[in-house]
Chains A and B, each alone.
Chain A
Amino acid sequence: ETGVTQTPRHLVMGMTNKKSLKCEQHLGHNAMYWYKQSAKKPLELMFVYSLEERVENNSVPSRFSPECPNSSHLFLHLHTLQPEDSALYLCASSQDGGDNEQFFGPGTRLTVL
C-alpha cells in the first residue's frame, strides 16, 4: 500500500469553480512533486518542493497554485480551469530529491466541464 495519499480521488468542476487537491505522504520524505498525466501523453512534472520550498515550476499556468505547508502535505489549488486541464494529477514524494525513487499517490482524476 502506497505511503502517499491523495484526496479527492475524483473531481468534476466547472470552469469558474475553485477547488483544491490534497496530498499527504507518510514516508518521512522531504521532497514532494505534482505531475499531470493526460491520456496517451507522458507524465509531465508541474512543481517540485524540497524542504517545503518550491524549487521547480515547470512553466505551469497560474491557474494552478501549489502550496506546501510542511514536508508531509502538498496542495494544488485550482481556479478558472479549462477543459484541456482534465487529466490525472499525481502527487509523489522522495527523500532528498535528486534521482532517488519517487513514490506516487493514487492520483486525482479531474474533469473540467
Chain B
Amino acid sequence: RKEVEQDPGPFNVPEGATVAFNCTYSNSASQSFFWYRQDCRKEPKLLMSVYSSGNEDGRFTAQLNRASQYISLLIRDSKLSDSATYLCVAWAGKLIFGQGTELSVKP
C-alpha cells in the first residue's frame, strides 16, 4: 500500500470550475501535511500547509481529517495558470510524497 495515495488524474476542467483533490495517508504517526505544486518540467513548490482546523488561502482551501487519515485540496474559480500537478505530502520524520494529480484547466 502506498504511504500517501492520491486521486488518479488527469483532471480536465474548464476555467472557473471548482475542483477537489483527495489524498489518504497510511502512517498514523504523520504529523504535518502539505500540498506542493509542480509545473510541467519544473521543481515542486510549496502551495500550502494543511492544518487540522482547515485553512484557506485565497481560492485554495485545504482540510485534514486525522481520524480518517484524509487530506483534501479545493480550488475554486480555477484559472489557466492553476494547470499543474498537485502533490499531497505527509511528514513522518521525512517528507513522503504522493504520486501527484495532474490538473489541466482549459479555456
Binding site for B on A (CB under 8 A): 2, 4, 40-43, 45, 48, 56, 58, 90, 98-99, 101-107
Q: B2, B43, B97, B98: which has the most chain A beta carbons within 10 Å? A: B43
A interface secondary structure, majority: loop
Task: Indicate whether A45 sits within 8 Å of B99 (C-beta atoms), given known contacts A99-B32, A104-B43, A107-B43.
Answer: no
Contact (Cβ within 8 A) A48 B44? no
Contact (Cβ within 8 A) A106 B95? no
Interface size on B, residues (CB 8 A): 18
Contact (Cβ within 8 A) A101 B46? yes
Contact among B2, B43, B100 with A90 in the assembled complex (CB-CB below 8 Å) = B43
Expressed in whole angstroms, the minimum distance between the Cβ of A75 and any Cβ of chain B is 18
